[in-house]
């Protein structure tokens, strides 16, 4: 096998720096604290071997294996793991076997996916997985035991443990391959059913196309009749259109003359209306000027009135502003007076505060000295009281401790004396039971008898199991034979049913085709089809549109020598005798070509392949079989299938009878085995109960002896404890008597507390006086600053009031002058108003005269416009009539043009030639147009009643027939593929059972040996449960550790379960050894003794095989047994590093030193 040599990691999880792990022969250990990245090495190994599940890599997605960064290092975008394999033995797959070393590399880039390479060449993930699978390992191999795998095996259901056996047997992929084959089988059967449906559908379509071809012929006949009727109807419409055009032209000429007369009347009215309009502009101008003058004067009057209102309002506002200004002056004078008084008041207050602050420094210094002296006195008294209190508390605590110790030792002395008395009484009761050995001997005899019965029944059960296996093999062979017969029968029945459905189609329900009444010998179908062709689709019913008519025999010339009449090979109605007797069959194409010149009129020559030679020189080479030939061939095939079904049905009955008998024998053998196994289990239970009774008796005897010895030892210990307690009690009482009296010292402490309280009161009073003086001084300083600031603010307000008084005095003088001007303006406005009223009255009189003149001129103009409108309306009405008549003429012309277009589209001629196409006698009277239209409608309805017509039906029928032939060929291939798939599934199941049973025997043997080695005794075996089929059975583990009865693994203790699971894993491993075995902290639940046996087993396997072990551990004994150690550290948070120590080399160096 190929050997694992090195593992290199870069950017994989916590191994951000390039790291290399050497995998050398023997046992390599990996140690390190929790969370430092040891398991990342195992995951790197699984990842490079093709692991595709991010969940198994402890991540949410595969990009999580890339180093994500730490506090001091940024994350990476690429991770790469390379595994170096030693292929010097040349055991790699053929495409890679030319190199002594193989380097498998897997590289992942964030967001881009993984890339695999083998020796630098890019490969698929599947190639890498197959490479390791061929080496009996892989990402999911049993030899890679990660954390939690032991617990998973312990807690797994028996059916889940079967995967271990499948891996040992090398059939891990059997279920997936079988499932894939079954899916392909179901898909193929579904495709076959669909193909049958398609063939039936296409054949139905073929018959429908033939029917459509007949409908197309009738459709063409109706089209000819419709064409002649349409030609006659177009001729009649053409004549009527010519008459309508002549009438429309005469009416249009009369309308043209009327339009000319009314146009002259409109011209005269237009002239009169223009003269009236010319007189209006001067009059309108004069009226507008008079109105404008009047409007100007009215606006001037309104402007004077508005100005008068504004003046009066401005005068009122000036009066109000004058009063307000005078009030503001008075207010500012009051403010100036208040500010002067405030400034004087605040200046006096500042002088008083400065005088009061003169002696505050000396008072504060005196108060500070008094407070300091009082504080020092209080501190001295507090220190003396604390020291005295501590001494009193120490003596009180020692006195209380001595009192408690005396009480505890007294109670303990009483308990020890009572316990000694009870132990002496119990020793006297236990002495007789230690000498009783009869119950143990009786239990041992029962165990010997139960063991013999169990061994006998186990032998019988194994014999029944062998008989059941042989019966199952016989049943499997019978099942295969039965299934093969079923498949053969189903294949023939499917083909027969498909052909029967084709011949049962209702294609010729009204007029059955003659082909269904013709029988032809096998091989001559193509000859008959080529000779008669579509003539066989005609019916023998004389009521059919196309049919064969029965005629009496006719004396006809004989066929040329070398040609055999087709009537010798085909049998049918007498209707065909005339035709068949004149068709000769020749041996080959050369004969046909040689005999064609000798054919009489009506004679034909054909070959079996379908070549055709006709008397008139026509030659048709054989090509795709005709529809008639195919139908005849299928009918012959249907008859052959009916004959072939007879032996197949007989074989099916015999195979079914043999299968039922074999299955009955297999069921009976299984029932016998279950009964024997039940008896074996009952005997095993009886043996377990006997051993339990034996163990109980032995345990009782040992317990009695142990109890007596323990009681004696207890009495010795109690005597020593009593001596020790009595000595301690005496010493404690002496120490308690030597303790001094504490009452005097408590009185002294109380006097010191009273003196301290007085001094604290004096200190508090002095401190309060000092604080009051400080507060008063601070308040004076604050008030002095505030008074100075207020005085400055009042002085500023005083100055501001003086400036405001000056401004308001100036404003008062200006407002008084404006008020006097506004009082004079209303009289001036009154004089201007009187002058303007006289001018307005004169302007109104002039505007009235101009308006009257304009009204008279507009009346004359309106009368002229009305006359023009009447004349224009009459002209417009006549023009509309002319337009209408022109439209009628245009419509008649358009109808004639449309008729011509219709004639060209429908008849491909002009209307004047339509009568010729109608094949009507020109000298005869034309029929009534209504009768022609009725006839045309009837013909069109008849054509529409036919429905949609496929004019390409004949060509489509030929194409469809070729398609059906191709599908029949595909169907035969599909039936053969289904048979091969069923055979392959049966072969997979048979091979899987054989390999699984063989692997079970090997694993069971290894498991029994390894269990004894790991436990130092006991026994264990494996059992297939829950199903008779090994491929569906579960794997149950029965174990009996030393001193315990046989039981399922779930009833063992935690450590025993772990050892048992390890024994199973190693048993599977030894059955199908892998080049590497990785064990991740599997020794965690084991004690030292079990760890030692585990390490010994690993060393033995490593020495006896080429397997290299990689063990991750925290156990010191396991570390000591390793050939070399690698330490994983995390000196930098979040970044793993690898260091190594070769223990074997170190031992050799130490030995030589």
Q: What is the DSSP string of 177-220?
A: HHHHHHHHHHHHHHHHHHHHHHHHHHHHHHHHHHHHHHHHHHHH
- pLDDT given for residue 798 in this prediction: 76
Strands 1135-1142 and 78-86: unpaired
pLDDT single digits (tens) 679-694: 877 877 787 677 667 7
Tokens 């009192």 correspond to 403
**DSSP category for residue 359:** G
Residue 261: CB atoms within 10 A of its CB come to 11
Burial of residue 157, with CB atoms counted within 10 A of its CB: 0-12 exposed, 13-18 middle, 19 or more buried:
exposed
Q: What percent of the chain has pLDDT over 90?
A: 4
Residue 913 falls within a domain, yes or no? no
- Across 599-608, b (16+ Cβ under 10 Å) vs e yields beeebbbbbb
**Stretch 841-862: mean pLDDT, rounded?**
77
Residue in 1150, 833, 1127, 1143 with CA at minimum distance from that of residue 37: 1127
Residue 953 falls within a domain, yes or no? no
Of these ranges, 352-356, 369-373, 707-711, the one predicted with the greatest mean pLDDT is 369-373
- pLDDT given for residue 68 in this prediction: 87
CA distances to 545, 551, 556, 593, 758 from 579, rounded to whole Å, are 20, 11, 10, 21, 157
pLDDT single digits (tens) 356-396: 666 677 777 777 887 788 888 878 877 877 777 777 777 77
Residue 537 falls within a domain, yes or no? yes
- pLDDT given for residue 433 in this prediction: 62
Phi, psi (deg, nearest 5) at residue 923? -80, -20
d(CA 506, CA 499): 14
Residue in 30, 300, 459, 143 with CA at minimum distance from that of residue 1105: 143
d(CA 127, CA 96): 11
d(CA 490, CA 217): 43
pLDDT for 819 beyond 80: no
How many domains are there within the chain? Answer: 2
pLDDT for 176 beyond 70: no
Q: Among residues 645, 662, 686, which one ends one of the domains?
A: 645
pLDDT for 516 beyond 90: no
Supply the DSSP string of 970-1038, one letter for each residue: HHHHHHHHHHHHHHHHHHHHHHHHHHHHHHHHHHHHHHHHHHHHHHTS-EEEEEEES-SSTTT-EEEEE
**Stretch 422-428: mean pLDDT, rounded?**
78
pLDDT single digits (tens) 213-235: 777 777 777 777 777 777 777 77
Confidence of residue 764 (pLDDT cuts 50, 70, 90): confident
How many residues are there in the chain?
Answer: 1153
Indicate the average pLDDT of the chain.
Answer: 78
CA distances to 401, 717, 727, 1140 from 724, rounded to whole Å, are 19, 11, 5, 56
Residue 1061 falls within a domain, yes or no? no
pLDDT single digits (tens) 298-348: 787 778 778 778 877 887 887 887 788 878 778 777 877 877 787 777 777
Residue 872: CB atoms within 10 A of its CB come to 16
The DSSP H or E segment spanning 832 is helix 743-907
Q: Is 553 helix (H, G, I), strand (E, B) or coil?
A: coil
Residue in 636, 639, 632, 633 with CA at minimum distance from that of residue 536: 632
d(CA 599, CA 583): 10
pLDDT for 1009 beyond 70: yes
- pLDDT given for residue 388 in this prediction: 75
d(CA 541, CA 519): 19
Residues 6+ apart with CB under 8 A from 579: 532, 535
pLDDT single digits (tens) 1103-1120: 888 889 999 998 888 888
d(CA 604, CA 559): 9
Residue 84 falls within a domain, yes or no? yes
Token digits of residue 1146: 């170190």
Residue ranges making up the domain that contains 1136: 1-141+1115-1153
Bigger pLDDT: 1044 vs 1010 = 1010
- pLDDT given for residue 159 in this prediction: 78
pLDDT for 1075 beyond 50: yes
Bigger pLDDT: 654 vs 630 = 654
pLDDT single digits (tens) 385-424: 777 777 777 777 777 777 777 888 888 788 888 878 887 8
Beta bridge partners of 1124: 28, 1142
Burial of residue 502, with CB atoms counted within 10 A of its CB: 0-12 exposed, 13-18 middle, 19 or more buried:
buried
Beta bridge partners of 930: none
Residue 136 falls within a domain, yes or no? yes
pLDDT single digits (tens) 487-497: 777 777 766 66
User: CATH number, domain at 1134?
Assistant: 3.40.50.300
- pLDDT given for residue 506 in this prediction: 42
Residue 581 falls within a domain, yes or no? yes
Residue in 1047, 455, 1045, 1041 with CA at minimum distance from that of residue 694: 1045
Residue in 809, 812, 786, 805 with CA at minimum distance from that of residue 336: 805
Strands 121-123 and 1124-1132: unpaired
Residue 627 falls within a domain, yes or no? yes
Q: Among residues 645, 667, 695, which one ends one of the domains?
A: 645
Q: Among residues 597, 627, 645, which one ends one of the domains?
A: 645
């Amino acid at each position: 096998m190929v050997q694992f040599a090195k593992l290199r990691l870069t950017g994989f999880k916590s191994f951000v720096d390039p790291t290399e792990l050497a995998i050398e022969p023997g046992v390599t250990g990996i140690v390190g604290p929790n969370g430092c990245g040891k398991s990342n090495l195992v995951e790197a190994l699984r990842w490079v071997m093709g692991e595709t599940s991010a969940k198994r890599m402890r991540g949410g997605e595969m990009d999580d294996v890339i180093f994500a960064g730490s506090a001091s290092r940024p994350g990476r975008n690429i991770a790469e793991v390379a595994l170096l394999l030693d292929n010097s033995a040349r055991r790699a797959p053929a495409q890679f076997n030319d190199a002594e070393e193989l380097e498998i590399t897997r590289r992942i880039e964030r967001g881009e996916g993984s890339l695999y390479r083998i020796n630098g060449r890019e490969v698929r993930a599947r190639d890498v997985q197959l490479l390791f699978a061929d080496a009996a390992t892989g990402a999911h191999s049993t030899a890679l035991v990660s954390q939690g795998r032991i617990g998973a095996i312990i807690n797994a259901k028996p059916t889940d443990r079967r995967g271990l056996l499948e891996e040992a047997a090398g059939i891990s992929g059997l279920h997936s391959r079988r499932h894939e084959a079954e899916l392909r089988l179901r898909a193929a059967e579904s495709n076959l059913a669909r193909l049958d449906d398609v063939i039936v559908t296409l054949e139905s379509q073929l018959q429908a196309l033939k029917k459509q071809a007949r409908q197309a012929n009738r459709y063409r006949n109706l089209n000819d009749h419709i064409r002649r009727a349409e030609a006659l109807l177009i001729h009649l419409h053409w004549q009527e259109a010519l008459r309508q055009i002549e009438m429309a032209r005469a009416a249009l000429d009369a309308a043209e003359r009327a339009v000319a007369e009314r146009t002259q009347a409109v011209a005269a009215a237009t002239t009169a209306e223009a003269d009236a309009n010319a007189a209006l502009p001067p009059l309108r101008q004069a009226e507008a000027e008079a109105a404008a003058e009047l409007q100007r004067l009215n606006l001037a009057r309104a402007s004077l009135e508005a100005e008068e209102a504004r003046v009066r309002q401005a005068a009122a506002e000036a009066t109000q502003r004058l009063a307000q200004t005078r009030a503001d002056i008075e207010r500012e004078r009051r403010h100036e007076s208040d500010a002067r008084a405030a400034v004087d008041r605040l200046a006096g207050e500042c002088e008083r505060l400065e005088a009061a602050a003169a002696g505050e420094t000396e008072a504060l210094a005196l108060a500070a000295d008094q407070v300091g002296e009082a504080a020092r006195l209080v501190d001295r008294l507090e220190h003396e009281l604390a020291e005295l209190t501590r001494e009193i508390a120490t003596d009180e605590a020692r006195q209380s401790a001595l009192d408690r110790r005396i009480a505890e030792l007294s109670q303990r002395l009483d308990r020890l004396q009572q316990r000694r008395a009870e132990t002496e009484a119990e020793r006297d009761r236990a002495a007789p039971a230690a000498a009783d050995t009869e119950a143990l001997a009786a239990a041992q005899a029962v165990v010997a008898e139960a063991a013999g019965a169990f061994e006998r029944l186990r032998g019988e059960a194994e014999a029944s199991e062998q008989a059941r296996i042989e019966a199952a093999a016989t049943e499997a062979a019978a099942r295969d034979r039965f299934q093969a017969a079923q498949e053969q029968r189903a294949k023939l029945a499917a083909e027969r049913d498909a052909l029967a459905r084709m011949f049962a189609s209702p294609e010729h329900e009204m007029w059955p085709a003659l082909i269904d009444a013709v029988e032809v010998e096998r091989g001559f179908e193509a000859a008959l089809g080529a000779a008669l062709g579509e003539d066989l689709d005609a019916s023998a019913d004389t009521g059919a549109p196309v049919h064969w008519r029965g005629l009496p025999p006719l004396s006809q010339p004989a066929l040329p020598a070398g040609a055999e009449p087709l009537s010798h090979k085909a049998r049918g109605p007498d209707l065909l005798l005339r035709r068949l007797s004149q068709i000769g069959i020749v041996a080959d194409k050369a004969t046909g070509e040689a005999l064609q010149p000798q054919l009489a009129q009506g004679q034909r020559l054909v070959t079996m392949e379908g070549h055709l030679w006709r008397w008139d020189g026509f030659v048709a080479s054989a090509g795709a079989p005709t529809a008639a030939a195919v139908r005849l061939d299928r009918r012959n095939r249907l008859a052959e299938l009916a004959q072939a079904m007879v032996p197949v049905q007989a074989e099916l009955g015999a195979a079914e009878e043999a299968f039922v008998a074999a299955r009955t024998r297999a069921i009976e053998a299984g029932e016998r085995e279950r009964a024997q196994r039940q008896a074996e289990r009952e005997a095993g239970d009886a043996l377990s109960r006997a051993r339990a009774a034996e163990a109980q008796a032995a345990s009782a005897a040992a317990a009695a002896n142990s109890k007596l010895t323990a009681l004696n030892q207890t009495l010795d210990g109690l005597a020593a404890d009593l001596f020790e307690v009595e000595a301690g009690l005496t010493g404690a009482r002496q120490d308690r008597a030597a303790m001094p009296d504490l009452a005097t010292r408590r009185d002294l402490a109380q006097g010191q507390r009273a003196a301290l309280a007085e001094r604290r009161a004096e200190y508090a009073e002095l401190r309060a006086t000092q604080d009051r003086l400080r507060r008063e001084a601070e308040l004076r300083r604050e008030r002095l600053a505030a008074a100075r600031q207020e005085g400055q603010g009042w002085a500023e307000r005083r100055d501001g009031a003086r400036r405001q008084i000056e401004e308001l005095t100036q404003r008062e003088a200006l407002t008084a002058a404006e008020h006097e001007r506004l009082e004079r303006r209303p009289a001036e406005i009154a004089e201007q108003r009187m002058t303007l009223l006289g001018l307005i009255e004169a302007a109104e009189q002039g505007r009235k005269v101009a308006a009257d003149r304009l009204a008279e001129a507009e009346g004359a103009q309106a009368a002229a416009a009305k006359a023009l409108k009447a004349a224009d309306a009459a002209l417009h009405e006549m023009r509309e009539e002319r337009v209408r008549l022109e439209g009628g003429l245009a419509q008649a012309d358009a109808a004639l043009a449309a008729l011509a277009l219709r004639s060209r589209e429908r008849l491909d001629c002009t209307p004047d030639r339509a009568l010729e196409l109608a094949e009507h006698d020109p000298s005869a009277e034309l029929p009534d147009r209504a009768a022609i239209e009725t006839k045309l409608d009837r013909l069109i309805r008849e054509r529409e009643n036919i429905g949609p017509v496929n004019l390409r039906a004949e060509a489509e029928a030929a194409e469809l027939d070729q398609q059906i032939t191709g599908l029949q060929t595909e169907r035969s291939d599909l039936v053969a593929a289904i048979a091969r798939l069923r055979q392959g599934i049966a072969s997979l199941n048979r091979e899987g059972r054989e390999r699984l049973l063989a692997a079970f025997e090997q694993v069971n043997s290894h498991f029994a040996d390894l269990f004894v080695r790991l436990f130092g005794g006991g026994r264990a075996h494996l059992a297939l449960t829950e199903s008779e089929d090994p491929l569906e059975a579960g794997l149950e583990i029965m174990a009996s550790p030393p001193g315990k009865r046989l039981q399922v693994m779930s009833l063992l203790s935690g450590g025993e379960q772990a050892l048992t699971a390890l024994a199973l894993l190693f048993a599977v491993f030894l059955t199908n050894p892998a080049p590497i075995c990785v064990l991740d902290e599997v020794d965690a639940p084991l004690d030292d003794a079990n760890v030692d046996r585990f390490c010994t087993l690993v060393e033995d396997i490593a020495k006896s095989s080429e397997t290299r072990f990689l063990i991750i551990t925290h156990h010191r004994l396991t570390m000591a047994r390793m050939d070399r150690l690698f330490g994983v550290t995390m000196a930098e948070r979040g970044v793993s590093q690898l260091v190594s120590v070769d223990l074997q080399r170190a031992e050799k160096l130490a030995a030589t030193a």
